[in-house]
Structure 1
Amino acid sequence: MIKKIFKNDYFLTFIVEFIVLISGLLVYKFAAKLPEVNDFSEYAICRRTISFIHPLLILGLGVGIPRYIAFSTENKSTNSEGSYFISGLIIVISVLIPSMIIINIFKSEFAFLFFGDKNFEYLISFLNILVVGMIFHSIAYGYLRGRLYMGYANFLQFINLGIIPLLIFFIFNNIKDVLLYTGLGWILISIIFNLLIIIKVKWNKSEIKSSAKDLLIFGIQRVPGDLVLAGFLALPAYFTAHIVSDNLTTAGYVAFSMSLLNMAGATFGPICLILLPKASRAIANKDYHLLKTYVKNITILTLVATSFGMIIIEIFANKFIDLYLGNIYDELVLCVRITIIASIGYTVYISLRSILDAYYVKAVNTKNIIISFLFFIAFSLFYYIWIDYKVILYSFVLAMLILGSLTYYETKKVLKEFSKVKL
């Protein structure tokens, strides 16, 4: 049965996401070889900061656009897919322009917030460019995903996240150039895809307002959850930057560990990416048995694969770091070994969250994320007893395991409720 579910779209998407994963690993290897001492840490924290800012500015449209486009293809009484796409573009442009202006005006303050030192304000302009590129990437990708045009969606993902970051490192050997041209590359490719979609789709001016309303009602209530999740993955490095005075070295190790965890989640990203539109269609068609099959097989696959991967990393972390970065940093190895335990909870969340987003307009995932995050903050207070940054990492691990458990519990509730729906 697993073979039946993971054919075609899933297989192609897994291949592309695997390539993106390898690319993500390689860029950190190249970042470690940049000439300046702090270049690796600056790059690692910048990449983590993009993930932190992105959810705040996209207003949940990364989920809302594919969901409503998928529903519109199955239910002709809804607004057209083109109207949802155009509305999404209008929304993000309206948010991006003032946000970028504000961030540029308060460069020093944002530099202190993200890097723990106002002297890093020169990185803020590059962050703006990177974020703009990723926002437009997400809008185009969301449309293609909602239509299940996974060939085009995977091509966009392959170019922007697989090829461009590597290509930039081959051309440039300066952290400023690497960040600048990576962002410009993302913007160029994403704008091309968005323009091609605009040319292709049919939309109705009279539907723009109602489409925007649907997207905002669905998306805005997910912003706190998206932002908190981004904070989950970014705050351990930010906290470390503020409490460990070693010029970002340890904070860079923590940021790298979080990026590895994010890559582990990305391994299961194809499930989430395709499951949202497919689950939305199953729900629209009231196909309970198909939805139940998705949940059962995906849960088993996620737990088995993640457990195996976690054990391998725990055993061979030092060899992996040596092979990857060309040197063994004991503190980095320790950070990786602690953080990777969280992969069990994180991958369950990644794999099953689309079921909850497809079934509910209310933001159930947001509730689960906030509950878990509050546990993270509470556990982190023990730092003031032990005065060791690793308390932050252990707190993060416990909170992520709670998130995975809550996601699974809510998914089982969906199946129970959906089984009672009359066909």
Structure 2
Amino acid sequence: MGLAEQQLASLNTAVAIAVKGNAFYQSKIADCGGSKGFDSLDAFSEKMPFTTKRELAEDYGANPPYGSNLSYDLKDYTRLHQTSGTTGRPMAWLDTPESWSWIIDSWAYIWRACGAKAGETAIFPFSFGPFIGFWAAFEAASKVDLRCIPLGGQQSFERLQMIFRHEPQWLCCTPTYALHLMNVAERENVDLTKCSVRGIIVGGEPGGSVAEVRSRIEEGWGGARVFDHHGMTEVGPVTYSDKEIPKLLRIIHEAYYAEVVEPEMGRSIDFGNIGELVLTTLGRNGSPLFRYRTGDLVKPVQVEGEDPRAFALEGGIIGRADDMVVVRGINLYPSAVDAVIRSFEGFGEYQVSISKQDSMVQASIRVENISDVEDELMRMKLQKRLREVFALRIPVNVVELGTLPQFEMKAKRWSVSD
């Protein structure tokens, strides 16, 4: 069975389950003539309307406490996780044992694709809350027979000590936290280049697919390979770094039917253009999503010699349709600004402020200097580089080390005010 046939079969199974008992999707599916399934993936894309985050949020508010996107009785759901709330009120998301198993299988696929082997050790330097990524990564690591070490409730230096004590081959965290551990190690005279970690799986932020960020982490961790991945609470783990071509994110196409569309018009785009990633889950049938507009901006590319439907994403998650800022006619994406700042070894945390002055949108940056170079020289270097890359004068203010917040989970470095 080819990829398209496999995807269509999984899709129609999900549709059949939703038609029976999912109040959120029953009318949507009926209105587009899909109650008996779809003849092809193209027919599905043509007939089935998009699902948006706004729709989910409105349904969540109208049908407390969990919304109506549930295909089974509430008693059948055994897992609850929660969205990060970066674009609004956090939403709880429920899973049945079967749906959770599908998520774990997808994350296990990522571990294997990155080269993890049974008997190796993975370390997880974060506290476990309702965020799905931590739990799924940890349980999937156990499923592929890794020894799993949780490091919740510890300070960063204690976590570094645990890394040297237990000699893990794998580290799982955000790009920001991998960089933060590098800074702590330098401050405490710990030589990370001599630690055992050879693979770092990062997620939660775009940094793992940004060449400047990736190379800085790999150098700071003694040549350990950085593997990016991305996912969402609503859909699950979606992508992972191509081992041969790090700038490519591979989609787990067996688990998702992926499309890329124009953000404004919703039309399908050609390979090589930037558009919005649209996902349909092919196995999370307890709380499915059909043609879900993720808000993630990506560049789909065909991989030579492979089925065009199995496309990859060049440059990872480039940004979000709702977080691009236009400053004096120039499009600013957080990942692009991050790449410039991380191209300097001497900068730590930073914050970007977007504001309006005299009806003009302005950007400014506060950044911590962790180098021995004078603040003013570092400020001038960064401001010059920003002007070269974006053709914009973006004021830079160097602040005292420790002034800006540190992040274990998704970093929130951009603030927008009127």
The two structures share one fold, judged by TM-score above 0.5: no
Ranked by relative contact order (alpha carbons within 8 Å, sequence separation 6 or more), the top structure is 1
| Higher CA-based Rg | 2
* Structure with the largest fraction of helix: 1
- Taking structure 2 as the reference length, the TM-score comes to 0.26
